[in-house]
Amino acid sequence: MKLLAGLGNPGPQYRDTRHNVGFWVVDELARRWGVSDNWRDRFDALSARATYGGESVLLAKPLTFMNLSGLAVSRLAQYFQIEPADTLVVVDEVALPLGRLRARRGGSAGGHNGLKSIVEQLGQEGFPRLRIGVGRGDSRRDLADHVLSKFEPDERMIIEAAVLRAADASEMFITDGIERVMNTFNAATDKQQEDNA
């Protein structure tokens, strides 16, 4: 079984914020796979089971708020006996330009509190993650205010396209693994940035 955990904050006031793009990707996968009505609230997360490419998959949206995401992810992984290498965590990333994707097989939290919580709870950094660039915005603006802000109208098309690509990347993770995702989507977004330069 694979676990796809999109990080965000629960509640309607956070639904459209930059910090919630992980939720958006998981919602898109649930829509594609026809399990949007199958969410269950357990282990401090909304989760839905599905099958994709012959693999059993658990979609999850932690309800613990971003900084405690590891509590829900670790409990789901433990209950369903899912290895860290089979867990893909999808998060926002202010250090990436808007819309850029960056997949990694593991590594540090890189200042992201949601990833930091998961590292602490799993006791290791060896789980794949997919970061979605949400931009940094005005450097004089408080970072917490920025990630809890909504996208500007001229950013919406870019981020919505990025969410669709991130859902594609998540599906590739299930069938082909994180290396293929890295080779395909990291390179594609790097080339896209060059083309737009």
Question: Where do the domains of the chain lie?
Answer: 2-196
In this predicted model, what pLDDT tens digit does every residue of 183-195 receive, in sequence order? 999 976 555 544 5
Q: What is the fold of 2-196?
A: Rossmann fold (3.40.50)
Question: Is 19 tagged catalytic?
Answer: yes
In this predicted model, what pLDDT tens digit does every residue of 1-12 receive, in sequence order? 999 999 999 999
SS3 state at 155: helix
* DSSP state, residue 105: S
H-helix or E-strand containing 79? helix 69-79
The active-site residue out of 19, 100, 102, 112 is 19
In this predicted model, what pLDDT tens digit does every residue of 14-57 receive, in sequence order? 999 999 999 999 999 999 999 999 999 999 999 999 999 999 99
In this predicted model, what pLDDT tens digit does every residue of 141-156 receive, in sequence order? 676 676 788 889 999 9
Q: How many CB atoms lie within 10 A of CB 51?
A: 11
pTM as predicted: 0.92
How many secondary structure helices (H) and strands (E) does the chain include?
A: 7, 7
